[in-house]
Structure 1
């Protein structure tokens, strides 16, 4: 006990700051959107055993609005502003009450723009308070037409005036570029260590298409895993070269989330927890000297109290898969 106390006192009395110990480059920014990207990799120490490759979590929840969607929304909107396509006072449209809409709501306020979020009336209301707090206007669309109807309504509304723009997360080059940037920073954070496996949750397959493809250009032997939440199984996985797909129930995801929170101090969302679950299972297929990265796309705090409620219904339009 004395040794432990002395060690704690030495740590507290150290003249080095936490940032110095971690080698962190602290900086001041003019706007919070300058903090999009460069998210950390956090090594898991207790939920994995000592035998096998290290497993890291890519913490996309530390982006300003709390999810990976900050990346592509920021790219789309700031490119449009820089090109003069939209200016202060103009209005953007986006479809779905989801992480993308939260990201867009945050960013439009910063850039003195306005935002309308089009969504089916029966959408999950889990993220609605966040979107409204950032000042976006919600336009409820026909329940029977689903998210596809909301997408059509948003795009149609945006075409009706020159001072409007539809934020299309499926077909813009900015989306591809934002995910390529994430692949680069992930590899940079490993400091030359070989990436043996990359695991994501799977909805549209977009993260695989944009991130794993980039990673495989420098790591052709990369193992890619996809964790498919059974309650969010909207995916058309045809043509996606996953090495392994694994269906994960929400109950399994919640159990892993709680274990990671207790043992690692990380509160992941169900998608991130599902990715970690598969990453642990794939360790046997990856050489010990290599690294495994599981992607946590959003904040675990956003799901507290929603474990038994509607989470994912009406969040994906099959005709827009990418």
Structure 2
């Protein structure tokens, strides 16, 4: 193994691991792709780097430029890490009820935090970011929910990694839907390469927007936006599974205990039984 030039070279090529201590319906092999092993701790490292590199190739992101993005989640961590390595200034807008620990994590990477009233939710953070862009048109907003580089990185990297690991044999792919990039990019490739594969989307039962329900507050971090993302290709989805907050949290803990995985509520949601 060679020495990496920087931490961004360590993004991707994450392993799959069998979840041997969990129930196996019908004798199926259940495996999890360990995206927390990316250097920033989530699959969003792929997305963040891809959006930045795409903007660089298109010439809209110049050396020393400023990025502005409304996010309080893992995309913010990925962007902060990539911006620190590449020498960009990063401004993140987010509601002021975001935890102090998360704000400190962003700040450690050098990101600047702009807080908006919590009562306005992420809508307020998006509006603030858009206002900044209008005032500073030379800045760049990645727009993870609309950026085609988001699903494209999963077509190019995540999906081929999965196919290689399973030797092309796969019955189903299950993923929580946040921006929709992962399930779109991976789902499109799997549908083209594996006949009969089922693609299952997971969303919070308390905010079933993909199923046509109303957006409401929920506790499953990383999935369940209050709108249908622009990058989401719904045609690749065979089934939408709704998961209760308490089930997602319980299963994330169970995964940690059963397989020594670092599991978020989103991963717990992907493994939980559907809400009845």
TM-score bucket of the superposed structures, by smaller chain: 0.7 to 0.9
Deviation of residue 126 (structure 1)? Answer: 5.8
Deviation of residue 125 (structure 1)? Answer: 5.1
Identify the range of structure 1 (27-36 vs 41-50) with the bigger mean alpha-carbon deviation.
41-50
Partner Cα separation in structure 2 for residue 50 and residue 29 of structure 1: 41
Instruction: Provide structure 2 residue ranges, at least 5 long, that are not aligned to the other structure.
Output: 213-233
Compared CA separation, residues 252 and 126, structure 1 to 2 (3 A): farther
SS of the equivalent of 1:118 reads: strand
TM-score scaled by length of structure 1: 0.70
Partner Cα separation in structure 2 for residue 102 and residue 126 of structure 1: 12
2:203·2:210 contact (CA, 8 Å) conserved in 1?
Answer: no
Structure 2 match to 1:189: 165
When Rg is computed on C-alpha atoms for both structures, the one with the higher figure is 1
2:151·2:181 contact (CA, 8 Å) conserved in 1?
Answer: no
Partner Cα separation in structure 2 for residue 133 and residue 215 of structure 1: 38
Partner Cα separation in structure 1 for residue 179 and residue 140 of structure 2: 23
2:91·2:114 contact (CA, 8 Å) conserved in 1?
Answer: yes
* Alignment map for 1:304-315 (pairs within 5 Å): none
Compared CA separation, residues 245 and 93, structure 1 to 2 (3 A): same
1:151 to 126, 141, 146: 126
Structure 2 match to 1:229: 204
2:187·2:237 contact (CA, 8 Å) conserved in 1?
Answer: no
Deviation of residue 66 (structure 1)? Answer: 0.7
Structure 2 match to 1:276: 271
Structure 2 match to 1:132: 107
* Alignment map for 1:94-105 (pairs within 5 Å): 94-105=69-80
SS of the equivalent of 1:54 reads: coil
SS of the equivalent of 1:165 reads: coil
Structure 1 match to 2:246: 251
Deviation of residue 94 (structure 1)? Answer: 0.6
Partner Cα separation in structure 2 for residue 275 and residue 77 of structure 1: 28
Structure 1 match to 2:177: 202
1:97·1:124 contact (CA, 8 Å) conserved in 2?
Answer: no
Taking only aligned residues, the RMSD between alpha carbons, in angstroms, comes to 2.6
SS of the equivalent of 1:115 reads: strand
1:205·1:237 contact (CA, 8 Å) conserved in 2?
Answer: no
Partner Cα separation in structure 1 for residue 101 and residue 174 of structure 2: 25
Structure 2 match to 1:55: 30
2:248·2:265 contact (CA, 8 Å) conserved in 1?
Answer: yes
Matched, 1:87 2:62: yes
2:49·2:82 contact (CA, 8 Å) conserved in 1?
Answer: yes
Partner Cα separation in structure 1 for residue 245 and residue 25 of structure 2: 27
1:114·1:136 contact (CA, 8 Å) conserved in 2?
Answer: yes
Structure 1 match to 2:262: 267
Instruction: Provide structure 1 residue ranges, at least 5 long, that are not aligned to the other structure.
Output: 1-25, 280-322
1:158·1:164 contact (CA, 8 Å) conserved in 2?
Answer: yes
TM-score scaled by length of structure 2: 0.81
1:192-212 deviation per Cα after TM superposition (whole angstroms, max 9, x unaligned): 3x1100001234544333321
More relative contact order in 1 or in 2 (CA 8 Å, sep 6+)?
1
Q: How many residues align?
A: 253
Partner Cα separation in structure 1 for residue 133 and residue 69 of structure 2: 9
Partner Cα separation in structure 1 for residue 28 and residue 123 of structure 2: 42
Structure 1 match to 2:231: none
